[in-house]
Each structure stands twice: as structure tokens, then as C-alpha cells.
Amino acid sequence: MSILIKNILFKDEIQDIYIQGNRFHSIGPELQLDADDVIDGRDMAIFPSFINAHTHAAMTLLRGYADDMELFNWLQNYIWPFESKLRYEDIYIGSRLACLEMIKTGTTMFCDMYWHMPATMQAVSEMGIRAFLSTVFVDFNDPEKAKKFRSRTRKFYKETQKHDRITFTLGPHAVYTVSRDSLRWLKDFAADNNLLIHIHVAETRKEVADCIAATGKRPVEYLESIGLLGPNCLACHSIWVNDHEMDLLAEREVKVVHNPVSNMKLGSGVFPFREISNRGVCIALGTDGCSSNNNLDMLEEMKVAALQAKASSFDTCVFTSKIMESNLRDHLESVYSDPTLFSAQQALECATVNGAKALDMDVGRIETGMLADCILVNLNHYSLIPGHDLVSNLVYSASSECIDTTICNGKILMQNRKVPDEEIIIKEARQWEKNLKDKA
């Protein structure tokens, strides 16, 4: 299969882009090549498609359920009881809906942690996008549960080794739900099989306080003592980390996933972007699940991430100390927020090249030889006019409605904003909702 995109805006120049198989083959003006599909790219621009580095895809089924709550109350009293009733077919329906939403909003790869992983695998396989899939590993310090989850981990690993768009990862939920012995076992299993470890880390102050009470160490320090930190560790959230922990993240080349909308909605805290970024840590972006976001829109995530970093750069501790001094005006410059922090370009990189680096994939850039994952945006969409700075428009102004075409692995998944069978996917999700309400 091949695709020829004609007259597309790429890096401020009109170019043709030829995709052969699943990779970008040629980029240049007026390419004279035959292709199975030819796309007229006039009045459109090409960008790498987005990478959602942390989510729980099938939680589309919990969108709008149990909102406006603190994390631990939300998890223990609402989410976990609801999830305990979900079965394979439910997860399949929710994951198909998630894949549809991601394709419509320009995401072609996501890193997932959820129950009934084979159901998500089936949905991803059918929908044509990429995924790093892990099943949740939780044992609550129960040896029998640990034995069960280890067995399931081995089984799912064997079942997902042969798919070209799906990569198996390990998914220990968090330090407060997984025993020390299981974390060590997962660390060894990852090392033996070259696997990514996808884990929630330092998401709330309570998690930190509980970890100190149980182990005498903060979460990142505790994971370091186990030997789990490393380049294959994807530390999601990482909000409540001190200087020493940030140094450890950098030294061990841990990849961090920032989830600004979820963090804000659950009141979990503010991600220390400047401090972590200054240490050279790779920061990717994720939406988290639809019960704590409540969507999978990476364009929205980019904008919120950039704006939150600028606003939260105001050092309230410094301001409080300065306000006690008589001549506040002399100190205002030192306590202002920094509008230059987390630029639009940085936000786009977090959602593309950094996500690719975090997941170690040849995506995130439009270059010959790279996997052909991309989006085409409509330059005539009102949100992109005038075109003073296309990247700024994309991050700060655009909605997903400007995305015309989504391509993954050299295949067109959406064109003219139409995804094949999207009406069927929505209808089955609606029927699931009706069945749920009928049972209630």
C-alpha cells in the first residue's frame, strides 16, 4: 500500500509526501510517484499525530460518572466498585469508543493500563492505531493475589508478542497497591524481557505521606531502593516530588508523563514542569482516563499543560515572604508568573517526539524512514486563521475539528473527518449505556 500527499504545507514549504508501506518514503516538491491513494493536500498542513502516554482507554464508559471528588474517595468508593463489574465485552465497547475519539482528535498511539487487556487489544487491532497495553497489577500485599497477577502477566505477555502495532508493557498500579515483592518481581520480569514499566508515581500528598509511614521513604526514593527506576520506567503524574527525587528521575533517565487536566480536576496538585524540565527529564503528555479528564483530546491537554505551567510558575512562597516586607514594589518582578515557560512548541514536542522517546518508537516526526503516523489539519478552519504562527494556533487556538485526516502505520484511519463505522461504534456504546440503566 502507498499514499501520496500532494501540495501539503510542511515546515513552511509546499511539499509532496510519499508513504510506502508503513513508513515515510520521500519528501519533496512535485514528486512523480504512483500511489494507491492520492490525497490533495492544498490548504492543509501535516503534523506528527499525537501520543497519549498515559490513559485508561475503556474508562470512556465512566465519562461523567463520579465527578468532582478527591482521588482516594473517587477510587475506593466509586471507580473500583464500578470497574469490578466490567467484563470483556464492556471493555471492548469502551476501548472501541476510546480509539474512535483518539482518531478523531489526532492521536494514533496511546499507553494504556486497564482491566481485561485482551479486550482492549481486540479493539486496537480492529481500529488501526498503536497501543502499549498493560493490565493493571494490584495485589494489596496479598500473596495469593500476587500469585494470580504474576500468572496473568506471563500469559498476556505471551499473547501480545506478535502484533506489529501493539506492545505489551507492565502495569503496576502504584506503590500503595502493589507489594514490595511484586514490584521487585516486575522489575526483574521487565529486565528479562526488555519491557516498559508503566506506573502511577507521587500523584497526591496522601500517597507520599502513606509511603513515608509504610517505608520511611518517599515514593520515588522507595522505587529507587527497589531498583525499579530506569530508562524503561514511565512515571505518571510525578507531582509531589522533592529536589532529591527529581534528581533521581533525571539520573535514572526515567520518563515522566504529565497529566494536567486530570491533576487539576482531581485536585491532586501542580506538576513541577520547570524544575523537572530543567533537569533534562523527558516529559510526555497524557490525558489519563475519561473519568478524570473527561476526554482523550491531546490538543486540549497541550493547551492546559502550557497555561498551567505559566500560571503556576508564580512562586507563592516567595510572594508571601515578600509581602511581609515594606517595599513590595521592589520585589514584584521576582514573583511574577513566567509567560515564557512551556511554549507552544514545547507542548507540541511533549505530545509527539517526547511521547515517542518515552515509548521508544520511530514516530513523532515527519521524516523519511520514520513510521507513517501523521495528521493533516485544515488551514481554512477559522481557528487557524490568520496564520501568524501555525504551532501557536494549533496549541492555543485549535480544536480537534480542524483535523481533517488521521494516518497511522501508513493507513488512512480518518479522512474528511469521517472514520469508517463510527456510527456503529457510537450506537453500540449507546446501547451499552441503555442496558446499564435498565439493569439499575
pLDDT digits (tens, 9 = 90+) for 339-353: 999 999 999 999 999
Q: pTM of the prediction?
A: 0.94
CB atoms within 10 A of CB 30: 9
- According to CATH, what is the number of the domain 50-326+336-350? 3.20.20.140
Residue 327's pLDDT is what? 53
Q: Which residue has the cell 497524557?
A: 286
Q: Please report which helix (H) or strand (E) contains residue 407, including its range.
A: strand 403-408
- According to CATH, what is the number of the domain 2-48+370-422? 2.30.40.10
pLDDT, mean over the chain: 94
Q: Please report which helix (H) or strand (E) contains residue 392, including its range.
A: helix 390-392
The domain spans of the chain are 2-48+370-422, 50-326+336-350
Q: Where are the alpha helices (DSSP H) in 160-204?
A: 180-193
Cα Dmax for the chain: 74
Residue 122 Cα distances to 16, 133, 253, 306, 395, angstroms: 34, 11, 32, 34, 32
Quick one: which of 168, 165, 93 has its CA closest to 128?
A: 165
Residue 440's pLDDT is what? 57
Residue 323's pLDDT is what? 42
CB atoms within 10 A of CB 302: 26
Residue-wise pLDDT tens digits, 50-82 = 999 999 999 999 999 989 988 889 889 999 899
Residue 115's pLDDT is what? 94
Beta strands in 126-272 (DSSP E): 130-137, 166-168, 171-172, 197-201, 233-237, 255-258
Go through 84-93 and write b for each residue having 16 or more CB atoms within 10 A of its CB, e for each that does not: eebeeebbbb
Count of CA atoms in the C-beta half-sphere (13 A) of 342: 32
Residues of the chain where predicted confidence (pLDDT) is lower than 70: 314-336, 439-440
Q: What is the dihedral of CA 405, 410, 413, 418, to 10 degrees?
A: 40
